[in-house]
Structure 1
Amino acid sequence: MFPYQSGNYPIPNPYYRFVSQGQYYNPYSDTGWPWWHYPIESKGSYRYSPPQLLTFVLVHGSWADAHFWDGVAAELRSQGHTVYTPEYAGHGSDPNKKVTHAMITKSVVDYIKQLNLHDIILVGHSFGGTVIQKVAEQVPDRIKRLVFWDAFVLKDGESVADELPPQTRQGFEQLRTMSKDDTIMLPFELFRALFVNTASTEDAKLFYKSVSPEPAKPLFEKLDLKAFYALPTPKSYVYFYQDNVLPQGEGYGWNPHMSTRLGLFRLIVGDGDHFTDTRTRPAYLALKIYEASRD
């Protein structure tokens, strides 16, 4: 459904010495330093880590479906990883938009159980962060690590709407009222400015063709997350600093506002926005997810 280009950003071969920073500026490191490198032995040579093959379950967010991950999943599989991309209630081929957050969570839990998946890296994007929070409560013994990519990490008793700036929330409420089936459809101008702000106009229009109305109710449901915050599951956060969906600072944003709620966590940063890189640079995004997921 989503055409993509593999680009020139493959997940590094484990025997490469390092990946150069290249054209991607990282505001969290000194100019000229690589984003990461392998530890150096006493004689100055790099110590190489053996490849680690992982099992990923990638959970999409709002205004998307399982095809959101097509390019990223293909890149991860090309490296030998096992990848699953469940599609949850109210999305994709499901015509029923009158779903609840519990129904969405059950979709993913049932998927994991039916395939008898264990030792998984459970990845959530955007709204999908709230989904993996609730999924983790139900199948903690099957999860190796939780990875949140520019994803909501709600506090106990919060809804996604509680974390939106007042103007954005009011806009969503108006769009919800205007719909005939309790959904929210993003106008192109809003999608362009917030979700694909680094894309070309042509790509933005192409991406928008995949957007469908989002069930509104789950975005406004307050979630009981006491069990989630008692879990010892390892956690990571992938933060793309050009993501414009939430304003950075003033009590909003992905990192550190959301990420630090995870307690002890691994932080991986990148330079993309909310949607674009899944289509235009899937290998680059796959790399960042892998960095967040490996031991």
Structure 2
Amino acid sequence: MKFVLVHGAAHTGAHFEKVADLLRGAGHQVTCPTLAGNRAGDNPAEITLADAIDSLVDVLADMDDVVLLGHSWGGMAITGAYDKLPAGKIRRLIYYSAFVPNPGESLLDMVPPHYVAMFDEMGAATGTVGFPLPILREAFMNDADLATVEKHMADLVPHPYRTMADKIVLSKSPAEFDCGKSYLHMQQDIALPASYPWHPRLSEKLGLYRLVSMPGSHSTFLTNPELLAEKIIEAGRD
């Protein structure tokens, strides 16, 4: 299979390289792009959701028969890119602990009020957002020790606030997309609280889809890349 793995907020394509190497070792082609706003030299405060989506469309322009995965915020990017690409480019979409927007929704529309308040405050101050250590440790990486979390936090980048606040422009809802869809559910993922669950609250917005589940936190690309690679293959298969 030909995989394109799209990172989440405050991350880059480099964060998927452990998983990518395992997939390559199993015989698959893998690309891990870093989208506009998270690249070295970008001014994230100026980047819109449309800019980030367009940068993914550019990556996919010369590719076909792609299994396109988005992690967390990356669900916004893969949804927007699929809607802009010619039919047949994307073989399957995989939403890995990811947001699933309908037309006119933003990421902030899909998170609880305390996250909205935190991101709005950060965005007003700097035009970017990030994740404080207590949230990263307890909610995003609850299956990792403190040293691992601190090392990972040092690798994060300021994320463009507007890519979270902007309403996505789509011609149709993901439930109407004419491709295979999978939702990759992490069983101990509390980056969103139980009252705002990833699955089934967001996964069911895909309409007909394949559910693939595994133990682990929101950040299993780091804490359990071996099992995640196996589950990505399961989610991407015909």
| TM-score over 0.5 (shorter chain) | yes
Query: What pairs with 1:260-275 in structure 2 (closer than 5 Å)?
Result: 260-275=204-219
Which amino acid is the alignment partner of residue 63 of structure 1? A
TM-score, with normalisation over the residues of structure 1? 0.77
Deviations along 1:70-124, one digit per CA (max 9) or x if unpaired, are: 10000000000000111110103133211011111111111111xx211110000
Give the number of the structure whose residues are more often helix, by fraction.
2
Q: How far apart in 2 are the matches of 1:228 and 1:66?
A: 26
What SS does the corresponding residue of 2:4 show, helix, strand or coil? Answer: strand
Deviations 1:218-263 (A, max 9, x none): 10111123334432111000000111111123xx221000001101
Aligned to 1:177: 124
**Contact 2:69–2:96 under 8 Å retained in 1:** yes
Contact 1:63 1:213 in 2 (8 A): yes
Are 1:292 and 2:235 counterparts? yes
Alignment correspondent of 1:202: 147
**Equivalent residue for 1:150, pick from 97, 106, 109:** 97
Residue aligning to 2:194: 248
Offset at residue 143 of structure 1 (A) = 0.6
1:111 aligned partner, one-letter code: V
Aligned counterparts, 1:202-241, within 5 A? 202-229=147-174, 230-241=176-187
- Work out the CA distance in 1 between the residues paired with 2:224 and 2:120: 33
> 2:154 is matched by which residue type in structure 1?
K
In the alignment, does 2:22 pair up with 1:100?
A: no
Contact 1:64–1:92 under 8 Å retained in 2: no
Equivalent positions of 1:105-144 (< 5 A) are: 105-113=53-61, 116-139=62-85, 140-144=87-91
Q: Look up the SS of the partner of 2:88 in the other structure.
A: helix
1:77 aligns with 2:24: yes
Q: Which deviates further from its counterpart, 223-232 or 119-128?
A: 223-232
Report the Cα offset of residue 138 of structure 1: 1.5
Query: Conserved in 1, the CA contact under 8 Å of 2:102 and 2:173?
Result: no
CA displacement, residues 187-232 of structure 1 (integer Å, 9 cap, x when unaligned): 2122212211111111111111111211101101111233344321
RMSD value, Cα: 1.3
Q: Structure 1: give runs of 5+ residues left out of the alignment.
A: 1-53
8 Å CA contact 1:134–1:228 kept in 2: the answer is no
Q: Which residue of 2 aligns with 1:5?
A: none
* Match 1:278 to one of 221, 227, 234: 221
- Residue pair 1:58, 1:124 contacting (<8 A) in 2 also: yes
Q: Distance in 1 between matches of 2:110 and 2:41?
A: 27
Q: Identity rate of aligned residues, in percent? A: 34
Instruction: Determine the C-alpha separation between the residues in 2 that align with 1:134 and 1:150.
Output: 17
| In structure 2, distance between residues paired with 1:221 and 1:188 | 26
The answer to whether the 8 Å contact 1:66/1:92 transfers is no
SS in 2 for 1:148: strand
Distance 1:187 1:143 in 2: 35
Query: Runs in 1 of length 4+ with deviation above 6 angstroms?
Result: none
Find the aligned partners of 2:29 and 2:130 in 1 and give their Cα distance: 33
TM-score (norm 2): 0.95
